[in-house]
A and B are shown apart, each in its own frame.
Chain A
């Protein structure tokens, strides 16, 4: 209490700048007068009496000092004073200040913008109530569909049956919710509206989904358990973003929307901060109850009532005090019980794998983290790269500060000679650094915001749906704190060396001329900084070279199909009510209609075009060999396949090496045929001739389903495993339906929903999207067109991420190179200035200008050489690390490393050339006179 009162008084004194000096002076005078009178009374002569009185009083100046310290708040006052002083000094040298602030802003901005992404993707929790109570099923995200009664490694997806089993039996959960792992596009049209159907991502969720997350509706209401019952009225919840697109129309709540041609009533709007359960680039715009899945069957979701169709993710909120590990143990038991109850329906392989089936619970506060897993490595790499750049920036600024310190040596030594404390001088220097850094940090926020926006734009250019990527470029509180923290750390990093230099000033220097000083104080730290910068630049340049080379290699690899003049039109025939046998006619008509567009050379349709990322996979049973056992029935032995119309191979530009391609002669009634790729032939037939052989699928219990009629060149269909050779692949005819032996029905009707039309345009011709749409509408106006784009785009999109990383690191590499060159230039020209006399003497002794220039350049090169020697092992280690992160990256690519070394050496030459030129032009007589 007393301390507070005192503090307030002192604070007020400080603010009002009240000085009690006058009062103290009065009191001292009074005191001395009284004491003198006392001594005089004792008989001393007046002069002696006053002298004694003064002696007794003590050191007046020291007491005044203490008195002043008591009056205000000296620490704050000094801080304010130092700040004012630093500001004044910075204002006096605007070019220095602007250079430093901008350099720092670049460094801090780069780091902050990467951190914004890092924070949003890796650290942020879902915006839901108490995310710490949420637990999800599965160590790793598995997208998005699984069939059968076993899952590899762990059960991470569940069927509706299994969800109900867990929900009804697990005690530890307050709420356990399930939701679709995928968020497929839905065809959406406002009922009674005039505009055509639009595609928006949507998701089926259990009735307690929103209750579990603990969020409430922005408008209307969210889903409840009563909505998620068989036969309940079809209702849906819309995302806030999409609602905004509809002009925040209050009548949306209660309006009817046709979703995949089924009327749904919108009952509510989600809160603006809610982006669903998963951080993804295309968050759902519609949330539908699980039970309405039967109204709009999805090709890539399971049938709601099929126990072995796994398409749901689980997140639960545990009861307060419940132990997640015991819930996990309980759920493992429940899983076994559930599997045992389906034992009679299992395949032999599933039954054999039953004992090893298990599951894991993990904290689910950040939702399902597939995106996290996808980007984690990259963000870590980028974070490191930007930290390197920031270090180089700090080194550069430290260099500038050191030069500044040198110029102020005389001033500093005068201060020391006048009795300034070293701590006070260091404080002053650090205050200046911190001010510069904070200014840099503030400016950096603009750069960070723009940078993040730009990166997001490059990384996710074509997000579907209204919501867009739920990553906010504008700085949030943690990001602001981060930038502030980084600024302070940077200030200490670049400010400590110059501040330390001030303590090493000899006051005697103030009395001598500075130019007479023989000691080259500060030369060593500055040289070390240049070496350090060169080393870091080498690492960054080498790394960006490796990344760029790797991306180039990925893009220029042999794909096995042609990208030029190929347009992909994506349709969804699954959404129109055709009978399975009507599709062949539909596809024939589409091909005819499209082929008649002027400029179109050919058209063919396949289930999924190369690099679309959707191909189906199956096990293969080759005729004459035993059926694959449980050990072979796994992901490694899966063979991907595609279903195509006649003319497909010539349209996509894949050569048939042997036999024939799939043609018009392969009809529903003729022998079922397949075309295999080279890898298939090699794996299953080795040196035998595959043509005329048969193979089938274990799940259809037949090895004689398809007769091989041709072998096609290997082509890259999958958009992963780029580091591995192309795997086995086969193609089936669209007209031919697989038959389930027991029932006689089609085993895979969905595979006849061909999604990708390949259009080959004539050289030089362009075909408008409108013409394509018109041609398809003329066949069936109900057929939804999802997208129209070139095959080249589809392929290059696969490497967008890698390209972005390569571009960013190249940018950072060039930035570091420029900064390092500036640093080197600064050091070299400063040294030349310092050694003017020496050079003059050299000239006087007969040195030629060339010799002097070489002397200067050699010194600069020597510094960089040390930097290269230090940086080289680090660059190798970085390359090795990157090699483990990116396929196609050769960590020991000599070309990339050599290029980095050459680039750095060349910039060194350029940076050293100007000072060298200046040195070679020094006139000996002037140099000697300068003394």
Chain B
């Protein structure tokens, strides 16, 4: 069985932002489901860890929350990306691509490249 690694908080935050960016306003469970679908088992256990991160993002002003009706017609809290959040996402994306690019090049490194 594959060991479930703890999701780094920054990564989880990024996933939340991207999910909200793509899908628009969602409640906590919805976000958890999407992340689960895409990342398979990152959130297979400990779905609850999502909520402290949501609170942190809201305090930072990247997302806002308001009440809405869920699928089963219950009152639920919906999260929506703000303009700040979108900017943050773009910035993080750039950073990520840059880092990934560098790491990628290192992984492709062969001995003759350095000779």
B32 within 8 A of A: yes
- The answer to whether the Cβ of A79 comes within 8 Å of any Cβ in the partner chain is no
Q: Does B60 contact A (CB under 8 A)?
A: yes
B34 contacts the other chain (CB 8 A): no
Partner of A63, one of B48, B59, B75, B76: B48
Contact A5-B61, Cβ < 8 Å, known A23-B77, A71-B55: yes
Q: Assess whether A70 is in contact with B48, with CB atoms less than 8 Å apart.
A: no
Interface residues as binary, A15-57 with B (CB distance below 8 Å gives 1, 0 otherwise): 0000010011011101101110100000000000000000111
B residues 48-107 near A (Cβ < 8 Å) are 48-49, 51-52, 55-56, 59-62, 70-72, 74-77, 84, 88
Cα distance A591–B18 in the bound complex, in angstroms: 110
Kindly identify which residue among A6, A31, A37 contacts B28, using a CB–CB cutoff of 8 Å.
Answer: A31
Are B47 and A57 in contact (CB-based, < 8 A)? yes
Whether B74 lies near A57 (C-beta < 8 A) is: no
A20–B55 contact, CB under 8 A?
yes
The answer to whether B77 touches A31 (Cβ under 8 A) is no
Contact (Cβ within 8 A) B52 A2:
no
Contact A55 B45 (CB under 8 A): yes
A33 and B48 within 8 A (CB): no
CB pair A6 B60 closer than 8 Å: yes
Number of A residues with CB within 8 Å of any CB on chain B: 30
Contact (Cβ within 8 A) A34 B51:
no
Q: Is B11 an interface residue (CB 8 A)?
A: no
Task: Determine whether the beta carbon of B76 is less than 8 Å from that of A30.
Answer: yes
Separation of A678 and B51 alpha carbons in the complex (Å): 100
Our pick among B32, B52, B72, B84 for the contact of A31 (Cβ within 8 Å) is B32
Which B residues lie within 8 Å of A63 (CB)? 48-49, 51-52
Query: Does B23 make an interface contact (CB < 8 A)?
Result: no
A54 to chain B, nearest CB (A): 10
A260 CA to B110 CA in the complex, in Å? 99
Contact of B72 among A23, A24, A33, A66 (CB under 8 A): A33
- Say yes or no: is A67 at the interface (Cβ < 8 Å to chain B): yes
Write the nearest CB–CB distance from B53 to chain A, whole angstroms: 8
Q: A30 contacts which of B28, B46, B48, B61 (Cβ < 8 Å)?
A: B28
- Chain B's closest residue to A24 (CB) is B51
Q: What residues of A have a CB within 8 angstroms of the CB of B29 in the complex?
A: 30-31, 34-35
On chain B, the residues within 8 Å of A31 by CB distance are 28-29, 32, 47-48
Judge if A511 is at the interface, Cβ distance under 8 Å: no
Give the Cβ gap from B111 to chain A, nearest Cβ, in Å.
Answer: 44
Task: Assess whether B74 is in contact with A67, with CB atoms less than 8 Å apart.
Answer: no
B47 CB, min distance to chain A CBs, angstroms: 5
**Residues of B with C-beta under 8 A to A763:** none
- A66 contacts which chain B residues (CB < 8 A)? 49, 52
The one of A9, A23, A26, A35 in contact with B59, judged by C-beta atoms closer than 8 angstroms, is A9
Report B-chain residues with C-beta under 8 Å of the C-beta of A24. 51
User: With A and B bound together, what is the CA distance between A70 and B56 in angstroms?
Assistant: 7
Chain A residues near B77 (CB, 8 Å)?
A: 23, 26-27, 30
Nearest Cβ distance between residue A63 and chain B, in whole angstroms? 4
Is the C-beta of A58 less than 8 angstroms from some C-beta in chain B?
Answer: yes
Check B47 against A58 for contact (C-beta < 8 Å). Answer: yes
Query: Chain A residue with minimal CB distance to B67?
Result: A26
Query: Does A6 lie within 8 Å of B45, measured CB to CB?
Result: no
Measured CB to CB, the nearest residue on chain A to B58 is A9
In the bound complex, what is the Cα–Cα distance between A70 and B70 (angstroms)?
Answer: 26
Name which residue of chain B comes closest to A67, CB basis.
B52
Task: Among A28, A35, A56, A70, point to the contact of B55 (Cβ < 8 A).
Answer: A70
Closest residue of A by beta carbon distance from B53: A70
B28: chain A residues at CB < 8 Å are: 27, 30-31
A418 is an interface residue with CB less than 8 A from chain B: no
Determine the chain A residues whose CB is within 8 A of the CB of B45 once the complex forms.
55-56, 58
Which of B49, B71, B75, B88 neighbours the largest number of chain A CB atoms within 10 Å of its CB? B49
Residues of B within 8 A of A20 (CB): 55
Q: Are B70 and A67 within 8 A (Cβ)? A: no
B59 pairs with A10, CB closer than 8 A = yes
Nearest-neighbour CB distance to chain A for B109, whole angstroms, equals 36
- Which chain B residues lie closer than 8 Å to A57 at the CB level? 46-48
Q: Are A56 and B44 in contact (CB under 8 A)?
A: yes
Which residues in A have their C-beta under 8 angstroms from that of B70?
30, 34
CB neighbours of A519 from chain B (8 A): none
CA distance A71 to B55 in the complex (A): 8
Instruction: Judge if A770 is at the interface, Cβ distance under 8 Å.
Output: no
The winner among B45, B48, B49, B62 for most chain A CB atoms within 10 A is B48
In the bound complex, CA of A598 to CA of B60 (Å)? 96
Given contacts A31-B29, A33-B72, A71-B55, contact A2 B47 (CB under 8 A): no
Chain A residues with CB under 8 Å of B88's CB are 2
Minimum CB–CB distance from B56 to chain A (whole Å) comes to 5
A5 touches B52 (CB 8 A): no
* Residue of B whose beta carbon sits closest to that of A31: B29
CB pair B51–A5 under 8 Å, yes or no, is: no
Chain B contacts for A23, CB-based, 8 A: 77
Contact B56 A58 (CB under 8 A): no
A5 to B45, CA, bound (A): 31
A416 to B: closest C-beta gap in Å: 28
How far, in whole Å, are A9 and B47 apart by their CA atoms in the complex?
Answer: 25
Report chain A residues within 8 Å CB of B84.
2
Q: Are B74 and A33 in contact (CB under 8 A)?
A: yes
Cβ of A60 under 8 Å from chain B? yes
Q: Which residues from 47 to 96 on chain A have a C-beta closer than 8 Å to any C-beta of chain B?
A: 55-60, 63, 66-67, 69-71
Question: A28-B48, A57-B48, A67-B52 are contacts. A34–B61 as well, Cβ < 8 Å?
Answer: no
Least distance between B66 CB and chain A CB atoms (Å): 12
A77 to chain B, nearest CB (A): 16
B27, A30: Cβ atoms closer than 8 Å: yes
CB-CB contacts below 8 Å: A563-609 with B: none
Q: Which residues on the A side are within 8 Å of B27 (C-beta)? A: 30
Closest to B76 in A: A30
Nearest CB of B to A327, in Å = 58
Least CB distance, B85 to chain A, in whole angstroms: 10
- Determine whether the beta carbon of A60 is less than 8 Å from that of B72: no
Q: Is the CB of B32 within 8 A of A70?
A: no
Q: Give B43 Cβ to nearest chain A Cβ, in Å.
A: 9
Residues in A with CB closer than 8 Å to B49 are 58, 63, 66
Contacts of B59 in A (CB 8 A): 5-6, 9-10, 70
Q: Report Cα–Cα, A33/B59, bound state, in Å.
A: 26
Q: Are B47 and A56 in contact (CB under 8 A)?
A: yes
Bound Cα distance from A66 to B60, whole angstroms: 17
Distance (Å) between the CB of A164 and the closest chain B CB?
71
| Given A2-B61, A6-B56; A30-B74 close (CB under 8 Å) | yes
A58 to B44, CA, bound (A): 10
Contacts of A30 in B (CB 8 A): 27-29, 70, 74-77
Q: Could you name 5 residue pairs across A and B whose Cβ atoms are closer than 8 Å?
A: A2-B88, A6-B59, A27-B28, A30-B70, A58-B49
Query: Shortest 6 CB-CB distances between A and B: which pairs?
Result: A58-B46, A63-B48, A34-B29, A58-B48, A6-B59, A9-B59
**12 more A-B contacts (CB under 8 A) besides A3-B60, A10-B59, A56-B45?**
A27-B51, A28-B51, A30-B27, A30-B29, A30-B75, A56-B44, A57-B48, A58-B45, A63-B48, A63-B49, A63-B51, A67-B51
